[in-house]
Amino acid sequence: MIKILIVDDERTICDLIDINLSAAGYDCKTVQDGLQAIDLIEREHFDLILLDIMLPGADGYDIMEYIKPLKIPVIFITAKDAVKDRVKGLRLGAEDYLVKPFEVVELVARVEVVLRRYNIADKKLTAGDVTVDMEAHKVTKAGELVSLTNKEYGLLVLFMQNKNVALFKERLYEKVWGDEYLPDSRTLELHVQRLRKKLNWEENLVAVYKVGYRLEVD
């Protein structure tokens, strides 16, 4: 599972990010102090770090200097919205710079973009008793192989990479079919119905009114 370190001196912000990224399938750890963050980075491996600038102990810029040789991608998340601060953060090597307050859906999207840029992805995805082996292109449920079409497989991967997150029909269609979604078409709906039936996910793969679909899992 992809591991993300969240460094912010506001516990409520840490908790908000943690809840939403964990729901999207990431393994998150949070810390509110700069020196504690450095200590944690020394002891554990992280695939991505979300980093505030104004921190006790050591600020985000100091931590960035420490992280740079480790080649771990960093997204700055801060209330400092001046252009000079953005430029400084990016010149220090940050992959992105997000200003508070922010929309969680935008943060999740930016995390996805940075991970793709670094070619970081889970090789296996799990949701309940369903497992997707990305390398083998194989899906199992309770250990039993499940036969899916390429489009069904593509939808499943998207749902499992975004657990408990509502996905717009337009995004699903664009990602899986590589084309613009047509509201009058029932193609997406029929594929979702077949996916529900094959995985016994009638209660898990739910329609979200005027949005699309969401995979609901604990």
| Sole residue written with tokens 């591991």 | 3
State which H helix or E strand residue 193 sits in. Answer: helix 187-199
pLDDT score at 144 = 94
Phi-psi map region of 200: left, alpha, beta (phi>0 left; psi -120 to 50 alpha): left
- 39-48, pLDDT tens digit by residue? 999 999 999 9
Q: Report whether pLDDT(54) > 80.
A: yes
Pairing of strands 124-127, 96-99: unpaired
pLDDT score at 23 = 78
pLDDT score at 147 = 96
Task: Take residue 138 and report the two structure tokens written for it.
Answer: 């194989």
Which domains can be identified in the chain, with CATH numbers?
Answer: 3-117 (3.40.50.2300), 124-215 (1.10.10.10)
Q: Report whether pLDDT(1) > 80.
A: no
